[in-house]
Structures are given as C-alpha cells and as structure tokens.
Copies of this chain bind each other. A is one copy, B any other.
Amino acid sequence: MSPKITTELLKQLRQVMKNPRYVQEPVQAYIVPSGDAHQSEYIAPCDCRRAFISGFDGSAGTAIVTEQHAAMWTDGRYFLQAAHQMDSNWTLMKMGLKDTPTQEDWLVSVLPEGSKVGVDPFIIPADQWKRMSKALRSAGHDLVPVKENLIDTIWTDCPQRPCKPLITLDLSYTGVSWRDKIVALRSKMAERKVMWFVVTALDEVAWLFNLRGSDVEYNPVFFAYAVIGMNTIRLFIDGDRMMDPAVREHLQLDSTLEPEFKIQVLPYGSILSELQAVGAGLSPKEKVWLSDKASYALTEAIPKAYRYLTPYTPICIAKAVKNAAETEGMRRAHIKDAVALCELFNWLEKEVPKGTVTEIVASDKAEEFRSQQKDFVELSFATISSTGPNGAIIHYKPVPETNRTLSVNEIYLLDSGAQYKDGTTDVTRTMHFGTPSAYEKECFTYVLKGHIAVSAAIFPNGTKGHLLDSFARSALWDCGLDYLHGTGHGVGSFLNVHEGPCGISYKTFADEPLEAGMIVSDEPGYYEDGSFGIRIENVVLVIPAETKYNFKNRGSLTFEPLTLVPIQTKMIDVNLLTEKERAWVNEYHGQCRAVVGAELERQGRHEALRWLLRETEPLAPAP
C-alpha cells in the first residue's frame, strides 16, 4: 500500500473553502465525516468523500482540514491502515488514546479567533452537530452549514450516485404488507401525538415499503427518503425505478386507493424543500418525528418546537421483531448457508494440505458455494478470511499484500455471510486443518463456553442485551483473558447485517429490551496478537423459554440458534466443559445433522453430507 498523494487536492479544497461561489464567508476549517446523508454504516462509492480527500478508506474516520493542517480521527482498528494510506500532509489522531485531543479541542487549539468551521449539513447527524456546535461556540467559533459539499466541487471523477432496479418482496417473505406497516406506524404516531414521521435510514425505507435495492454493496437498500403523514405518503426516490411495472403494481401506484394509502413519488433531491414546506405549515401541537441521528439539514427543516426526536424510531423497533414469515425465511437462509459452508469446509480439508489455498481463494470459494444456493443475492459483508496472525486482526479483510496461505499448522478464522432473498446470514467458524496445540484448544474452549453461556442463557422478558455480555466473557475472565469487542449485534431479515436497536455489548446501555422474534449474533472471541484469532459466531433468534417458575408472570426468554454449522470438535478440550456444556454441543450438532443433513441429501451433496456426519459426532464424556 502506498499512500495517496493529497497535496494538490488539499490545495484545491483550501481554495474552495474561501470561494464565495460555495461559502457565504470563508471557512477556516472543513469537516469531512464518514457517513452518507442517511447515516449508513456501509456507503456507496460516491459517498466515500473522506477516502477521496485523504486516501484512508477504513469504515470509520473523520477528516478535518484547516488552512495549515489536515487531521484524521480514527479508532484502534485502523491506526495501521490509516498510517499506510495517508501521506505526510495528514496527522493521524488515534482515538481512544489518552493524549489524543477530541475534534472540538483540536479545532479550538489550532483555529484563529472567531473562526468559521464548515460541514455539509446533510452528512452530519443532528446530535453530533449539536455537540460540536456548542463546544465551538463556547470557544468563540462558529459551526456553519455549507450547502454544497466542498469535496464534491473538487472531486472531478466522482462516481454517479447508484440508482439500481428495485426488488419487490411479497407477503411470503415479509409477512406484513406495506399498507399494514403504514397503519401500524400511524398508530404509533397517534400514540405519541405526532402528525408526521420522516424516514431517513435506508433500511427503514426498504423495510417499510417491502422493497429492496442494491445501491450500496452488501446492503440491499436504495437511496430514498419517505415522509409519512396521517393521510399522506411521500416517497423521495430518483431514476426510472418507479417505471418498473412490478414496482408500480407492488406500490399500487396506478390503482384507485383510499387517499391515505396513495403514494406520492417525488425526486430524491426534493426532500429538504418538501420538509421545509411541511415545517412551515405546522399548526401548534403538530409534531414531526425524526431520529435524533437524522441529518442536521433535515432536522433543521422542522422548527425546534415541533420536533419529536428519539434515538430509535418506531420502524427500527418494529423491524427488529421478526414475524413468522421473516423467521421462517431466516431459517431457510441459514440452512442454505450451512450447506454452502459444509461444502467449503469439506473442500478446504482436502485442499489446504496441498498448500495452494490462500485467504482470498478460500473467500472466493465460500462465495462460489453460497451463490449456488437458491435466492442468493450477494454477500452480506466483506468476508473475513484469515489464517494465523491475520486472524488476530479483528476486522481483517484479505488483500493481495496480506494474503496468506492456509496451512495445517495455523488456525483459520472465517467470518462471512450472505444476503438471500429470504434472509441474511453472518457466521464465524474457527478451524484447524492439522493438529491444534493444547493452548489453542484451551482458548477455543473458553470462547465456546462463552458462546454457550449466552446461547443457553434464560433471562426475564424485558432484559436488555447488554446485561448478557458478561456471560460470554466469564470463562475467559477466569483465566485472565478477554476480547475487545462486543458480543452481538442485531441482524436484519434480507436487510443490513448490523441493525439496531438491540445487541449484546458492554459498550451500550441504550439498547432496547430483547423480545421474542428479535435476531442477534452471539460471537465471543479471543485474539492473540501475532499468533491467531478465535471467534465462534451464530445468529440466534430470541424465543420464549419454559421455566420451572414464573416470577411476577413476567415470562422468560432464551435463544435458538439459526446458524447450523458444526463447531469443530477437534478444537475442543472436553475436560474444560461442564456436563451441561457438553450436552449443549451434542444437541446443537444433532440439530445441524438433522436439519442441514436433510438439505445436503436433498441437494445431492453426498461428500459434504459425509463431512457433516463426521463433524457432528457426539463429544465423548470427559474422562
């Protein structure tokens, strides 16, 4: 990796920062955040502005350019990568280290008195704007919205915003029609006494209308906004996508409908002016509901007194609780995904000893097997295919410069998943194709104990996921070990592989309580820098639990694994498992055998079936 040369680009940016064509008054600093106008985690190439100006293309980072300086804030996952990708014009600000200033503090330390700091109001979330604006103001500076994105003005070969065809999902996939989702949303709005709801997150628009797209890699979403009134539906979307007869039929654009279900289609770019018109026409007590992470631009369109902001929208919460059709779809998707992985691991077992399988080859092979499955759409994230020391890099993605060959002497970690039309998968397995050391088995077994502790946990209705995080760590902690990431995230149903509002992490507190029907990942790990990485990840469904008693009639919950891929028994030190844990593994492998075995049989994949049968032999009792 050689750094991107940014001297000329920075010069151009500093010119437009003073150019009255773009800024009312010159700005002394310009902030380039990571996100797009929808606060997406994964973004389209046209939104990779921070990567364009700096060269650093990790998933998280904020660039700030002043007359004299250019600085990049990113977290521990990316210190090395950012240092490699950026030239000497840039100062790397290592977030999480004690001496690293915050963006606000740094700005205050470098700016001349009474400076203006510019930012694209469509890209910065309202809550971030508020915090930064307050800090700057108290130091005598001003945060100002710059309407035209200054990076776009100098990005001459900026790719077009994607505008790919849409997929319509019928009731067999979604379980609930978009009309019924609108009805439910309006009832939540009525409960909170709000008249309007603004849908800004891409996966929320997709979920609400039972549509999917492919504008962003790995995430089946499309660029759009929606504004839902008590009697109106406005969908802001570009291109000729609304000309597709299937889409017109799905949205009933040409039918005679009750007016409150008539969808008005408007250009994507008109959201601001339309929202401003809504804002201007509000009578007292007519509130507008927005996510507190919506962009500053859209939030400002509604006068402050009329805003109703919440961290999680009613769509986010409804989307998290999967209905029977979605759950069944997720089950199907996970069975197909397991078939693909049985094929892969069987293939790897034969090929790895030959010394010809690199991380990239294995990753491609995984995609090949997945793509053979029905309703496969694409991968759900960039495959983490890592062997030996690369496995210790938690967000590793193999590239030619780092590509390592799998061998019988190293642990191999594969974290991968796919989008199928019926569901989204995300699974991690850690394998050894030779003979693991006692220490590797020991660490693997602690991670497995943590995985089981969460998966088998029984907890009261209303429990938040973060309260389960320590269960995943307890066995590691007992030996002085740990892992520096959360234990689980929400998973969409043929939607984003990471979604709110629930999860299992020591880092959050504002997660919503777990409910039957929610789907999260369970993925503890252990990483030994320079040596190996271990992670065991299943996607699990929250289900009601039967318990002996029922305190205050609250009811209890537990998890059911949707992922049904064998956990390599060769890596387990059975002596470290309790009787209960051993039974859990055997029961889980029995499930894999029964369910995935039947599908392998049906698909005539006999060799993979034999592999599965061998890998799911019950564990012998501890001596």
Q: Which residue of B lies closest to A506 (CB)?
A: B467
Q: Is A584 an interface residue (CB 8 A)?
A: no
- On chain B, the residues within 8 Å of A8 by CB distance are none
Contact with B along A528-552 (1 / 0, CB 8 A): 0000000000000000010111111
A480 touches B551 (CB 8 A): yes
Within 8 A of B (CB), among A464-513: 467-471, 473-474, 476-482, 506, 509
Which of the residues B469, B471, B479 comes within 8 Å of A548, measured between beta carbons? B479
Kindly state the separation between the CA atoms of A478 and B554 in the bound complex, as whole angstroms: 13
- Measured CB to CB, the closest approach of chain B to A102, in angstroms, equals 15
Kindly state the separation between the CA atoms of A476 and B551 in the bound complex, as whole angstroms: 10
Q: Which residue of B lies closest to A305 (CB)?
A: B138
Kindly state the separation between the CA atoms of A506 and B513 in the bound complex, as whole angstroms: 13
- On chain B, the residues within 8 Å of A272 by CB distance are none
Q: Is A460 an interface residue (CB 8 A)?
A: yes
Q: Is A108 an interface residue (CB 8 A)?
A: no
Kindly state the separation between the CA atoms of A259 and B232 in the bound complex, as whole angstroms: 74
Q: Is A556 an interface residue (CB 8 A)?
A: yes
Q: Is A222 an interface residue (CB 8 A)?
A: no
A460 with B479, Cβ < 8 A, contacts A471-B470, A474-B471 known: no
Q: Is A412 an interface residue (CB 8 A)?
A: no
Q: How many residues of A contact B (CB 8 A)?
A: 32
Interface core residue of A474, A476, A545, A551 (most chain B CB under 10 Å): A551
Query: 13 A-B pairs, CB-CB below 8 angstroms?
Result: A457-B474, A457-B477, A458-B478, A468-B470, A476-B551, A477-B556, A478-B547, A479-B548, A480-B549, A480-B550, A480-B551, A509-B509, A578-B578
- On chain B, the residues within 8 Å of A468 by CB distance are 470
Contact with B along A48-72 (1 / 0, CB 8 A): 0000000000000000000000000
A480 touches B138 (CB 8 A): no
Contact with B along A436-469 (1 / 0, CB 8 A): 0000000000000000000001111000000111
- On chain B, the residues within 8 Å of A477 by CB distance are 457-460, 556
Considering the complex of A and B, which 5 residue pairs feature the smallest CB-CB distances, nearest first?
A480-B547, A509-B509, A480-B549, A479-B548, A467-B470
Kindly state the separation between the CA atoms of A412 and B468 in the bound complex, as whole angstroms: 32
Kindly state the separation between the CA atoms of A545 and B467 in the bound complex, as whole angstroms: 23
A554 touches B471 (CB 8 A): no
Interface core residue of A457, A467, A471, A545 (most chain B CB under 10 Å): A467
Kindly state the separation between the CA atoms of A460 and B473 in the bound complex, as whole angstroms: 10
Kindly state the separation between the CA atoms of A470 and B469 in the bound complex, as whole angstroms: 9
- Measured CB to CB, the closest approach of chain B to A529, in angstroms, equals 9
- On chain B, the residues within 8 Å of A548 by CB distance are 479-480
Known: A458-B480, A460-B477, A480-B556. 12 other contacts (CB 8 A): A458-B477, A459-B473, A459-B477, A460-B480, A467-B506, A471-B474, A480-B547, A480-B549, A480-B550, A480-B551, A481-B549, A578-B578
Which of the residues B138, B305, B457, B551 comes within 8 Å of A481, measured between beta carbons? B551
Kindly state the separation between the CA atoms of A460 and B470 in the bound complex, as whole angstroms: 11
Contact with B along A556-576 (1 / 0, CB 8 A): 100000000000000000000
Within 8 A of B (CB), among A411-435: none
- On chain B, the residues within 8 Å of A460 by CB distance are 477, 480, 482
- On chain B, the residues within 8 Å of A509 by CB distance are 509
- Measured CB to CB, the closest approach of chain B to A127, in angstroms, equals 16
- On chain B, the residues within 8 Å of A305 by CB distance are 138
- On chain B, the residues within 8 Å of A469 by CB distance are 467
- Measured CB to CB, the closest approach of chain B to A106, in angstroms, equals 16
- Measured CB to CB, the closest approach of chain B to A459, in angstroms, equals 5
- Measured CB to CB, the closest approach of chain B to A292, in angstroms, equals 16
B547 touches A482 (CB 8 A): no
- Measured CB to CB, the closest approach of chain B to A478, in angstroms, equals 5
- On chain B, the residues within 8 Å of A551 by CB distance are 476, 480-482
Kindly state the separation between the CA atoms of A428 and B291 in the bound complex, as whole angstroms: 46
- On chain B, the residues within 8 Å of A547 by CB distance are 478-480
Q: Which residue of B lies closest to A526 (CB)?
A: B551
Within 8 A of B (CB), among A151-168: none
Q: Which residue of B lies closest to A469 (CB)?
A: B467
Q: Which residue of B lies closest to A446 (CB)?
A: B549
Q: Which residue of B lies closest to A478 (CB)?
A: B458
Kindly state the separation between the CA atoms of A550 and B460 in the bound complex, as whole angstroms: 34
Within 8 A of B (CB), among A563-598: 578
Kindly state the separation between the CA atoms of A578 and B554 in the bound complex, as whole angstroms: 28
- On chain B, the residues within 8 Å of A467 by CB distance are 469-470, 506
- Measured CB to CB, the closest approach of chain B to A550, in angstroms, equals 5
- On chain B, the residues within 8 Å of A552 by CB distance are 482
A482 touches B554 (CB 8 A): yes
- Measured CB to CB, the closest approach of chain B to A363, in angstroms, equals 29
Contact with B along A162-179 (1 / 0, CB 8 A): 000000000000000000
